[in-house]
Amino acid sequence: MTFKFSSLAAALCLASVTSTQALADYPEKKIDLIVGYAAGGGTDVMARTVAPFLEEYLGNDAAVVVKNMPGASGQIGVTAVAQADPDGYTIGTYNLPGMMARTLDRDADYSADSFSYLANVVNDPNVIVTPKSSDIDTMDELVAAAQERDGAVTVSMSSLGGDDHFFLIRLSEATDAEYTIVPFSGSAPARSALMGGHVTMGIINLSEVVNFRDELNVLGIATEERSDLLEDVPTFAEQGYDITNGSRRGFIAPAGLPEDVEASLITAFEKTYEDPEFQQAMLSSGNPVNLTTGDDFEALNAEQLELAERVWTTSPWK
């Protein structure tokens, strides 16, 4: 028996082989992972924890190189990603609601349409902390100090227009008090200023306090239920302040990624998330993991943009 192949069938076979080969070849060179914040903060820790697992699950001797590009509340780093070639060799960290807030409070060279949304892996709640040497170690004491004189309580945080700031707005409303904001270029310097006693309190995230319990008083956590990572810390709701809030951290690439490259990256993130060693590594670094990928991540971004627009309309931060 003999078979004849049409030219169309031959072309389709060749296209299939070529597509499979292209996917198998990615990545063919190092992948730059841009972090828009200083080393040592929660976003940086997440990126450096994820990187070796991405290398493993991308295969093909993948090399993921973390590059810190701090400044402008994360805008410098995320802009670099938006403007990079959409070839899969530049990806970046992405923080919500901060990255969408940057499109409201200043001129931004990116928008919600500038990215391929790969994976959100962290939902990191806010906490309120004071220095261990402080005589303020409960929410009642903090609120009393804030209500005694407007602006007397100084607050370190990573930036304006981010989850820390949005949380403070809600705290101010809930406690009927005004606070003085002291913004920093990242969570690590904000925490350092706090531990040095230069500010009264700090608003940071759970992941950024877990390994510093001996140097900080943790007054409360902005979750509906207590966290397994800080079981002895009450929620704000338990203390009479019905506030939940936090930072979402994930990974994006420039818009227009080839479909096979995008699929390869998303699959690598999914396999990373399912890896017990990754789960344990994130737990050890205090990062509460929660995976959202692809279209669902893009929808989450749209929701967070809507939130930022509402806050900007009623309480502009600049």
The per-residue pLDDT for range 237-292, each reduced to its tens digit, is 999 999 988 889 999 999 999 999 999 999 999 999 999 999 999 988 778 888 99
Helix then strand then coil, in percent of the chain rounded to 5, is 45, 20, 30
pLDDT at 5: 42
Rounded to an integer, what distance in angstroms lies between the CA atom of residue 138 and that of residue 119? 36
Strand (E) positions, 188-245? 201-205, 216-221
User: pLDDT value at position 14?
Assistant: 52
User: Which residue, 186, 183, 190, 179, is CA-closest to 216?
Assistant: 190
Structure tokens at 111: 């928008």
What are the strands, taking DSSP E only, across 14-169?
A: 31-35, 64-68, 90-96, 115-131, 154-157
Q: Which residues of the chain have pLDDT under 50?
A: 1-9, 15-23
Residue 134 to residues 215, 221, 232, Cα–Cα distance (Å): 10, 19, 19
Would you give the end-to-end CA distance of the chain in angstroms? 78
Q: What is the pLDDT of residue 4?
A: 44
Determine the Cα angle at 155 with ends 151 and 156, to 5°.
Answer: 150
The SS3 call for residue 78 is: helix
Q: What is the pLDDT of residue 185?
A: 79
261 Cβ contact list (under 8 Å, min separation 6)? 23, 26, 87, 88
d(CA 171, CA 244): 10
Structure token digits, residue 201: 């309190």
Give residues with Cβ within 8 angstroms of 244, minimum separation 6. 125, 222, 223, 224, 236, 237
Which pLDDT score is estimated for 133? 92
- Given a contact cutoff of 8 angstroms between Cβ atoms, the answer to whether 169 and 315 are in contact is yes
Query: Which pair of structure tokens corresponds to residue 19?
Result: 């597509």
Report yes or no: 220 and 267 within 8 Å, Cβ to Cβ. Answer: no
Domains of the chain: residue spans and CATH: 9-123+247-314 (3.40.190.150), 125-246 (3.40.190.10)
Cβ burial, residue 156 (10 Å; 0-12/13-18/19+): buried
Whether residue 93 contacts residue 43, with contact meaning beta carbons closer than 8 Å, is answered with yes
What six digits make up the tokens of 273? 């998330």
